[in-house]
Chain A
Amino acid sequence: MTRVLAQRLLDLLVVLWGVSALVFLMIRFIPGDAVQIMLGANVEITPERLDALYRKIGLDKPLLEQYVAWIGGALVGDLGTSLWTGAPVGGEIMARLGVTFELLLLSLGSAVLLAIPAGCLMAYVRRSAGDYIVRIVTIVGVTIPSFWLGIVLILAFYKLAPGFASIGYVPFTDDPLANLSRMILPTISLALPILASLSRIMRSAMLDALGQDYVRTARAKGVSETAVIFRHALRNALIPFVTAVGITAGYLFGGAIVVEQVFALPGLGRLVIGAIAERNYPLIQATILLVTSGFVVINFLVDMLYVAIDPRVREA
């Protein structure tokens, strides 16, 4: 157990270091003309101004020194300052984080809650005529572009319920009900493709578990079918499912960036897209570092959870 933990922790640190190094190097790859664009359209480009900008982004020092300064700052919460507003980018990110986090939590939560029973049901109707239909429906579900689904939902609600406010954002603390009602359509758009893929994973994990020896033994002992499914098969099927949920979370974030754009939600996605338009590299850099490290750590915790609940790994 301690060895597994130590190994995983080492893996985690290596990946985090790699991510930070890559995100750091990113700013070195900015093409020269982009640096000039960063100066702004209304400013005459002089060598002095370029030098000042290079100093501002910190490109004038040796590479290693830059990295140490940058990562040292990041570790104590200083992620740099926005090129345009001069404000700390950490603050700008934190202000937007809540929206994206709420959207991700609602979509992932509802997809997981529905995928477990749906997957079990799909495993159960296997080998009937319904099997192909189930497969095709789930594949169609996976390939639905969530941003398109969002647009279609907005159109449908406009025709069917013209009074329903489907676009925009109300902070939860201002009006919880208005906040949640505006989150319904974005959540459906994001959750549906994930639901399709997670329920497929649940289905195959469940089929795998139902085919194991311990299930046959349990049945032979005369354990009721409900107990076989819920006490024996489901608990084992949840192990690969939990891993899949961890990976899905990262994928979901990509979807959220696009869906935020559709529903005009002021989250991280809009922040990044805006930052690209104005070439605000410190902001892009900080967002990518923060979000990616967040997902790496979440996946690590999920992994650890898995070690904790699976006696085979725990005692290995």
Chain B
Amino acid sequence: MPRHPLVLVGGALVILQGLLALLAPWIAPYDPIGQNVINRLEGPSLDFLLGADQFGRDNFSRILYGYRASIGVSFVSVTIALVIGGSLGVISAFYRGWTDRLVMRCMDVLFAFPLILLAIAIISLLGPQQWTTAIAIGIVYTPIFARILRGPALVLAESEFVVSARAIGAGDLRILLVHILPNLASVILVQASLSLSTAILVEASLSFLGIGTQPPTPSLGLMLAESRSYALISPWTSIFAGVAILTASLGFNLLGDGLRDTLDPRLKGLE
């Protein structure tokens, strides 16, 4: 598995950017929200590796903290979606019948909304903030996990080892946790990685629209929105913030795509 080129490249990108995000307070050369008008809109130099924005804040430091916000929000939201959506999908498959129909219908309804539109609706109720963004994206992604996990769980619930486990008297909870869940690990890993990739884009879009992370907290989408008016004078902030969003999302996408190839040969080449 580790030999797969996409896993290697994607994994390296994820680890690198994850470390940058985690270690931001120690490696950032400047205070990400400290303003210094003398340096405003400076281009890249030895002092400011990626230039400075319209308030003279160091782009490199802000991008490090931006990774923290983007990856952090995406992680929380995918975790919410995985726990709620995944459980619903597996329970549906396991109990079948009315439970299945009811749960999956609810998921169909949630899935019918255009992704960003539903997130916007939820944020309009909870108020625009970092944690509400995480909840909104989490809810929006819930039906995706329910749908993806239901299929393989259906097959597992019928498999011989589950039937045998039941025959020797294992309870529902034990069968779900000990026999079914571990066999779903590869599907979960692949879907989580791919979802993180798109969640980063959604978080950036929402912050760009001004309804995600709020200033002065550094966020990649927000940096792009704020620097837009100055982009014709000094494009550096816009360019680097965009590249940072792209590489963060790309890392998880390559990783997920490569993992899918190696963990589940049956899914090879499918979208």
Contacts and interface: CB of A to CB of B under 8 A. Distances in A.
B16 to A, nearest CB: 16
Contact of A147 (B5, B208, B235, B270): B208
Range class of the B interface residue count:
35 or more
B84 to A, nearest CB: 16
B253 A143 contact: yes
Contact of B271 (A31, A201, A257): A201
Nearest to A123: B269
A132 interface: yes
Nearest to A20: B109
For the residues of B in contact with A, the DSSP-based class is helix
Contact of B114 (A30, A254, A262): A254
Contacts of A203: 269
A258 interface: yes
A258 B121 contact: no
Interface in B132-163: none
A288 B113 contact: yes
Contacts of B110: 22
A270 B92 CA distance: 39
Q: Which of A14, A155, A197 has the most chain B CB atoms closer than 10 A to its own CB? A: A155
A169 interface: no
Nearest to B241: A148
A18 B125 contact: no
A139 interface: yes
B113 A292 contact: yes
Contacts of B5: 132
Contacts of A253: 114, 116-117
11 contacts: A14-B105, A22-B109, A30-B125, A132-B5, A140-B250, A147-B205, A151-B231, A257-B116, A284-B124, A291-B117, A296-B112
Smallest CB-CB A-B distances: 9 pairs: A254-B116, A18-B109, A148-B242, A143-B249, A250-B114, A253-B114, A143-B250, A204-B269, A276-B124
Contacts of B205: 145, 147, 254-255, 257-258
Contact of A276 (B123, B238, B269): B123
A230 interface: no
Contacts of B80: none
B114 A144 contact: no
Contacts of A152: 238-239, 242
B109 A151 contact: no
A120 interface: no
A244 interface: yes
Nearest to B116: A254
Interface of A: 11, 14-15, 18-19, 22-23, 26, 29-31, 34, 132, 135-136, 139-140, 142-145, 147-148, 151-152, 154-155, 158, 197, 200-201, 203-204, 207, 244, 250-251, 253-255, 257-258, 261-262, 272-273, 276, 279, 281, 284, 288, 291-292, 295-296
Contact of B208 (A11, A30, A258, A279): A258
Interface string B205-220: 1001111000000000
B108 interface: yes
A197 B271 CA distance: 9
Contacts of A258: 116, 205, 208-209
For the residues of A in contact with B, the DSSP-based class is helix
Contacts of B250: 139-140, 143
A143 B197 contact: yes
A119 to B, nearest CB: 11
Contacts, number: 142
Nearest to B201: A145
B209 A145 contact: no
A142 B253 contact: yes
A72 B221 CA distance: 40
Contacts of B228: 151, 262
Given A26-B125, A145-B201, A204-B270, A155 B115 contact: no
Interface in B97-124: 105-106, 108-110, 112-118, 120-121, 123-124
Contacts of A207: 269
B114 A291 contact: yes
Contact of A295 (B112, B235, B253): B112
Given A19-B109, A145-B201, A258-B205, A273 B210 contact: yes
B209 to A, nearest CB: 6
B204 interface: yes
A140 B250 CA distance: 6
A153 to B, nearest CB: 11
A200 B201 contact: no
A171 B106 CA distance: 40
Contacts of B117: 253-254, 257, 272, 288, 291-292
B232 A155 contact: yes
Contacts of B204: 145
Q: Which of A23, A143, A258, A295 has the most chain B CB atoms closer than 10 A to its own CB? A: A143
A142 B271 CA distance: 12
Nearest to B224: A148
Contact of B115 (A143, A201, A254): A254
B254 interface: yes
Given A15-B108, A31-B125, A135 B242 contact: no
Contacts of B245: 145, 148
